[in-house]
A and B are shown apart, each in its own frame.
Chain A
Amino acid sequence: MALFAKPRVSAQVTQPVQPASSELGCPAFASLVEAMESRVEKEDAKFGILDLARASGNHIEFFSRFRCKYHIGDVLAAMESWPVPGEDTPVVDMETLLPLHHANGLDLVLAWDGLNYLHPELLPLLSRHLAARCNRGAWLHAFVYSRGDMPASPLRFDVLSPNRMRCTRITDDMVGAPCPPQRVLESRMPEFRVVQSRLLQNGLQEYLFQISGS
């Protein structure tokens, strides 16, 4: 079940509502890249980056412009089926779901559209788990659907330039999008605050978070 819980079955439709592959502007991502470049100019920074998507040559090539340690999380496809706290699962061990013991000192988490597929009760746990590994000033970049339906599985994002991405759907099946407003996201992710939020033309809301207290 998706974030903030619109029932998947009742919302399911089969008609694709947008092309399988489309390009979108990503101004918050562009600001993020600019901020990283600025940090490099000031202090020759080396970044810790966690990419929650599966390993992508495109992502790696793009971020190779920075001195960085790039961790592959590869959890986007699995997040939807993560166990939810309840009678059967009294404790959810996030370290088992997303091992980060080798990923100390994160400066950037790339969540892509993964938050849309996470059960609402897991978002605070994920936020806390990530924040525990983040450096002061760390960013989290994410896309959240703001209206209507969304693909039944996460999109694939390719970075074309700092302000342009190509997103590709890997399924034509659509489900209801949870569409949490910003205040709900912030309340469920208290370790992070929104520093930029942009509504993109395809209905995705682009968020750039920064760890609170920065």
Chain B
Amino acid sequence: MFDKSKKEPEKAAASAPKAPASKPASAGSSGQTTTIGASITLNGELNGNEDLLIQGQVEGNIFLKEHNLTIGEQGRIKANAFAKTITVRGELTGDLNGLDKVTITSTGRVRGNIVAPKVILEEGATFKGSIDMDAKAVKPAAQPANAKSA
């Protein structure tokens, strides 16, 4: 179901309209980035210990502990997400907890609430909701009890 984009970055990027759209925000400490492709629809809890790029549709909760989450331009997400950094280039409805930073790029559309010590809205980004800019408030409390590593 998931592609390892580290191994085949060109293949993973093929479904995206622009090259930067499928590029993750940054590589995690493990050096791996998993891609959920544009044709994938996922419902439920999503947990992992590596960076994740979502180009498909996800409904549920996303928990990446200390890794980076990128919603690609084709990504359509209805989920609450917790990650080290979160970059939204597509659409997301839900609450975002970014341990370090949340970025909504010029193509990003977010409806929900953000908790992060640093929030960046690029020119053209769309956001409705509230932003809690308080480093003390960001704790990984959202991890589900039955969470398992990917």
Residue B125 interfacial (CB < 8 Å)? yes
| Complex contacts, A74 vs chain B, CB 8 Å | 128
Find out whether the CB atom of A68 lies under 8 angstroms from the CB atom of B118: no
Find out whether the CB atom of B130 lies under 8 angstroms from the CB atom of A55: no
Find out whether the CB atom of B120 lies under 8 angstroms from the CB atom of A72: no
Find out whether the CB atom of A72 lies under 8 angstroms from the CB atom of B133: no
The 6 tightest CB contacts between A and B, nearest first, are A57-B121, A55-B127, A70-B131, A71-B130, A67-B134, A69-B132
Chain B interface size band reads: 10 to 19
Complex-state Cα separation, A102 to B130, whole angstroms: 9
B91 to chain A, nearest CB (A): 15
Find out whether the CB atom of A64 lies under 8 angstroms from the CB atom of B133: yes
Cross-chain pairs A/B with CB under 8 angstroms, 16 sampled: A46-B134, A55-B126, A57-B122, A60-B121, A64-B118, A64-B119, A66-B133, A67-B133, A68-B132, A68-B133, A69-B130, A69-B131, A71-B130, A71-B131, A72-B128, A72-B131
In chain A, positions 82-136 with a C-beta closer than 8 Å to chain B are: 102-103
Q: What 19 new A-B contacts, CB under 8 Å, besides A55-B125, A68-B134, A72-B129?
A: A55-B121, A55-B127, A57-B121, A57-B122, A57-B125, A60-B121, A64-B133, A66-B133, A67-B133, A67-B134, A68-B133, A69-B131, A69-B133, A69-B134, A70-B133, A72-B128, A72-B131, A74-B128, A103-B130
Interface of B is mostly: strand
Residue B123 interfacial (CB < 8 Å)? yes
Interface residues of B (CB under 8 A from A): 113, 118-123, 125-134, 136
Which residue on B lies nearest to A74, using beta carbons? B128
Residue among B123, B125, B130, B136 making CB contact with A70, cutoff 8 Å = B130
* Among A60, A71, A74, A102: residue with most chain B CB under 10 A: A60
| Complex contacts, A55 vs chain B, CB 8 Å | 121, 125-128
| Complex contacts, A102 vs chain B, CB 8 Å | 113, 130
Find out whether the CB atom of B127 lies under 8 angstroms from the CB atom of A61: no
Given contacts A55-B125, A72-B127, contact A60 B119 (CB under 8 A): yes
B6 to chain A, nearest CB (A): 31
Which residue on A lies nearest to B129, using beta carbons? A72
| Complex contacts, B123 vs chain A, CB 8 Å | 57
Complex-state Cα separation, A81 to B105, whole angstroms: 30
Complex-state Cα separation, A63 to B128, whole angstroms: 17
| Complex contacts, B128 vs chain A, CB 8 Å | 55, 72, 74
Which residue on A lies nearest to B110, using beta carbons? A55
* Among B113, B130, B134: residue with most chain A CB under 10 A: B130
Complex-state Cα separation, A103 to B119, whole angstroms: 19
Residue among A61, A63, A67, A72 making CB contact with B130, cutoff 8 Å = A72
| Complex contacts, A56 vs chain B, CB 8 Å | 121
| Complex contacts, B122 vs chain A, CB 8 Å | 57
Complex-state Cα separation, A70 to B114, whole angstroms: 9
* Among A46, A55, A64, A102: residue with most chain B CB under 10 A: A55
Find out whether the CB atom of A60 lies under 8 angstroms from the CB atom of B130: no
In chain A, positions 22-70 with a C-beta closer than 8 Å to chain B are: 46, 55-57, 60-61, 63-64, 66-70
